[in-house]
Amino acid sequence: MQEVRVSVPARADYLHVLRAVAASVGARRDLSFEAIDDLRIAVDEAGAYLLALKPSADKLCLIVKISEEGVTATLWGEGITTKWPPPGSDDSLSWKVLSGLADEAAFEELDGAPAIRLLKRATSGR
């Protein structure tokens, strides 16, 4: 399994960096153009979701892993301390968008910080 790790200042104007990294890794895994776009949008939405929890977070971090199954992107915010997942989060519009774009989406914790894990499966024979 290969992985890429990146962290950026926790500001919306840096989300494009995380989108670009996710798209690049998706292309390296030979995801379809549609799957790469879905992954890019899902990473953007997950980042925006985390930033909305605590706009004063320190960093927004991303790990993108390539596996036989596809591409997994995990985002978390350093400095975000909040009840996780927030009440009613499963019914939020953001979560419905994330669930629709990714083949799997889950709320997790990474080193005590709120995290969102997304999986985009690779399809054979595109």
- Write the pLDDT tens digit of every residue in 4-14: 999 999 999 99
- 91 inside domain: yes
- Write the pLDDT tens digit of every residue in 13-46: 999 999 999 999 999 998 999 999 999 999 999 9
Task: Give the CATH number for residue 41.
Answer: 3.30.565.10
Contacts of 45 (CB under 8 A, 6+ apart): 94, 97, 98, 101
Instruction: Specify the number of domains making up the chain.
Output: 1
Residue, of 106 and 58, whose pLDDT is higher: 106
What is the domain extent for residue 76?
Answer: 2-121
Cα separation values, 101 from 28, 38, 82, 111, 126, Å: 19, 5, 25, 26, 17
- 76 inside domain: yes
- 25 inside domain: yes
- 126 inside domain: no
